[in-house]
A = this chain, B = another copy of it.
Amino acid sequence: MRQKPATIKEIAKKLSISISTVSRALHDHPSIGLITRQKVKRMAEEMHYEPNQTAILFQKGKTYTIGVILPELSEAFFSSAISAIEDVANKRNYNVLLAQSHDDQEKEKQLVEKMKNHRVDGLLVSVAKTTASFEHFDMLKRYNIPVVFFDRVPPLKDIHYVACNMETGSIEAVNFLLKKGHRTIGMINGPGTLAASGQRKEGYIKAMLKNRLKFDPSLIVSCDLTEEGTIQALNGLLENKRKPTAIVTFNDYVSLYAIRHARKLGIDLNTELEFVSYANLPIINFMDHSPIASVEQFPYIQGQRAADILFDLLNSNNDEEQTAFYKITIESQLVMSPVKTQAAG
């Protein structure tokens, strides 16, 4: 009982009219009379007509598909972002072609190639950690495939992007700690190769200076984001001449590792040392001692904005060379951790 879906050709034959009339009738083209139009529509219904998407796509030279390349779907940030992208795409009746680079530059390169071959109409990318060269994205320009980067943005000039400004959040975080009375604030930062590390550091410095406190470089240490690296970094801070009473960490994971280590050292997290971090991941709800606050980076909104921009580019007449570029920064925001009744022991 394999019934191939009906085609407009069959409808035309059945009604003894031309194919083009059927096509136009279904699209409510004004040059088709009302009676014919209705006749066609009724017949289409009756024959269970479904427009053959692949034929339409082929004919129009568009795929009505946007590609999304991101590092790792299992990271909460990205799965949230992809949800947003999907929602936006669905609203526009576009499809989403998803692929993970697993933070591997080579894989990312292949995926770009694949997306291009699949003739996606546009591309949304959050680059892999290891990506150091960006020629594979240049190629897309020649094929007139617009790209919007989000969150992890390459350091290029002529690109569209949406990213989260870490500085504001960083300033908020430090201000928050200062208001709580802390004067010696440490920072466990990420590797210098990440743009985000620089922004976090900048925010830290700005907040200190604005509060007329001098900036002590020895209070900022960087780590490789692993547990071991974090432990080393924390140890470094604790051995510092000026021992910090609060620490800002690069993200919730680093916070987690640091907190775990601090407890092992017998440090009282209620009185001796407080933590603030970035990301505001769900995991902090599961920790007995979580950072007291975390900087939210709004993955859903980032995804949404990025997708919106991409559609804007798709709809604009992009026949002329692109000269203006969307460069959107979303302000990050400090969020207090939900008050938890700390476990007894």
Q: Is the CB of A142 within 8 A of B3?
A: yes
A98 proximity list for chain B (CB < 8 A): 82, 86, 96, 98
Among A252-284, those with CB < 8 Å from B are 256, 260, 263-264, 266, 283
Q: Is the CB of A97 within 8 A of B97?
A: yes
Q: Is the CB of B53 within 8 A of A117?
A: yes
User: How many angstroms between the C-alpha atoms of A100 and B74 in the bound complex?
Assistant: 15
Q: Is the CB of A54 within 8 A of B51?
A: no
User: Pick the contact of A283 from B142, B260, B286 — CB < 8 Å?
Assistant: B286
- A196 to chain B minimum Cβ distance, whole angstroms, is 22
Interface status of A321 (Cβ within 8 A of chain B):
yes
Contact with B along A92-108 (1 / 0, CB 8 A): 00011111100000000
User: Pick the contact of A264 from B83, B117, B341 — CB < 8 Å?
Assistant: B341
Interface status of A344 (Cβ within 8 A of chain B):
yes
A86 proximity list for chain B (CB < 8 A): 98-100
In the complex formed, the residue of B with least CB distance to A80 is B74
User: How many angstroms between the C-alpha atoms of A143 and B6 in the bound complex?
Assistant: 11
A15 proximity list for chain B (CB < 8 A): none
A63 proximity list for chain B (CB < 8 A): 54
In the complex formed, the residue of B with least CB distance to A52 is B119
A61 proximity list for chain B (CB < 8 A): 54
Q: Is the CB of A96 within 8 A of B97?
A: yes
In the complex formed, the residue of B with least CB distance to A50 is B117
User: Pick the contact of A55 from B2, B58, B97, B100 — CB < 8 Å?
Assistant: B58
Q: Is the CB of A50 within 8 A of B83?
A: no
In the complex formed, the residue of B with least CB distance to A54 is B58
User: Pick the contact of A118 from B53, B73, B264, B319 — CB < 8 Å?
Assistant: B53
Q: Is the CB of A79 within 8 A of B83?
A: no
- Residue of A3, A263, A319 contacting most chain B CB atoms (<10 Å): A263
State whether A264 and B57 are in contact (beta carbons under 8 Å apart), knowing that A96-B98, A98-B98 are contacts in the complex. no
Q: How many residues of A contact B (CB 8 A)?
A: 52
A53 proximity list for chain B (CB < 8 A): 117-119
User: How many angstroms between the C-alpha atoms of A58 and B59 in the bound complex?
Assistant: 9
A73 proximity list for chain B (CB < 8 A): 73, 79, 82-83
User: How many angstroms between the C-alpha atoms of A99 and B116 in the bound complex?
Assistant: 22
- A326 to chain B minimum Cβ distance, whole angstroms, is 20
Interface status of A5 (Cβ within 8 A of chain B):
yes
A79 proximity list for chain B (CB < 8 A): 73-74, 79
User: What are 24 inter-chain pairs, A to B, with CB distance below 8 A?
Assistant: A1-B321, A2-B142, A3-B142, A3-B143, A50-B116, A51-B117, A53-B117, A53-B119, A54-B54, A54-B119, A74-B79, A74-B83, A79-B79, A82-B98, A86-B98, A95-B118, A96-B99, A97-B97, A256-B286, A264-B341, A266-B344, A288-B289, A288-B343, A345-B345
Q: 9 extra interchain contacts, Cβ-Cβ under 8 A, other than A50-B116, A73-B83, A288-B288?
A: A2-B144, A3-B143, A50-B117, A51-B117, A73-B73, A74-B79, A74-B80, A260-B343, A263-B343
